[in-house]
Amino acid sequence: MSFESASESAGRSLSVQCCIVGGGPAGMMLGYLLGRSGIRTVVLEKHADFFRDFRGDTVHPSTMQVMQELGLLDDFLKIPHQQLTHMQGLFGATPIRIADLSRLKTQCPFIALMPQWDFLNFLETKGARFPSLQIMKSTEATELVRDSERITGVVAATPQGPLHISADLTVACDGRHSILREQAGLQIEDIGAPIDVLWFRVGKQKTDSDGIFARLQRGQMMVTIDRDDY
């Protein structure tokens, strides 16, 4: 029986071993690993899709090493991406090499530049073969469910109405403004940030230099993420 049909027969309730709140890289990768192991898992994503710009667009060598061990790497590398083996910074007008990844002793000695939504869609597609894994989009966890001192699941808002999910383990992967972290009373250490960050898009010219990762001068810094044509 699918999770959805089980939910309908139970009157908008669902019981799983693990409920992961948040369909970002952490939540989706954890969901894939648990589903692969046969653990009944649901991942809740509040948005209808993964399309969010100005997110982390880098997949690092250590992540690709894990994907190689999981047998996912060959298909992952078929997704359009740029491979960054060297990083240079412009300090004023002087180019300085910041990093040389080609010397790493890993399967992929480079950073893959790829929109985050492509990476998340890839994990969703690969996870679809596991009957124990369900990805529920347009489903936003709004409340933790407690039994005495124990967290036993969440209440989620869906287009069809509230959904009550009971779980042996509830994992909060809902980001820096986590509702679940706040409701659980988990404390964080806020060290602040000395700068403000402005994200914007600039067209790329054929004459632009490749591999320039940062431009720095007199207290100012610009970091560039290559999206091929911008």
For position 187, what pLDDT does the model report? 87
CATH number, domain of 150, equals 3.50.50.60
Determine, yes or no, domain membership for 143. yes
**At 56, which amino acid appears?**
G
> In the prediction, which pLDDT does 53 show?
63
Structural domain of 49: 3-57+115-184
Low-confidence ranges of the chain (pLDDT < 50): 1-10
The answer to the question of residue 170 being in a domain is yes
pLDDT tens string 200-227: 888 887 777 666 778 888 888 888 877 7
**pLDDT computed for residue 74 by the predictor:** 98
Q: What is the pLDDT of residue 8?
A: 44
3-class SS of residue 230: coil
State how many domains the chain has: 1
Q: Residue 222: what pLDDT? A: 86
Residue 180: its H or E element: helix 179-184
User: Helix, strand, or coil here: 169?
Assistant: strand
**Distance separating alpha carbons of residues 152 and 166, to the nearest angstrom:** 6
pLDDT attached to residue 191: 85
CA-to-CA dists, residue 34 to 17, 27, 96, 226, angstroms: 10, 11, 43, 33
CB 43 within 8 A of CB 133: yes
In a domain, 23, yes or no: yes
Task: Please report the beta strands in 11-136, taking only residues with DSSP state E, as ranges in sequence order.
Answer: 13-21, 41-44, 58-59, 82-84, 86-91, 94-100, 111-113, 133-136
* Type of residue numbered 153: G
Q: Does some domain include residue 202?
A: no
CB atoms within 10 A of CB 50: 21
Q: Is 49 within a domain? A: yes
| In a domain? residue 163 | yes
Q: How far apart are CA 140 and CA 174, in angstroms?
A: 10
Element (H, E) at 46: none
User: So what's the pLDDT on residue 9?
Assistant: 40
Element (H, E) at 117: helix 116-127
Question: What is the pTM (predicted TM-score) of this model?
Answer: 0.84
Tell me what pLDDT residue 50 has: 85
**41 within a domain of the structure (yes/no):** yes
Cα separation, 38 vs 82, in Å, equals: 34
Is 206 inside any structural domain? no
> How many whole angstroms separate alpha carbon 184 and alpha carbon 66?
31
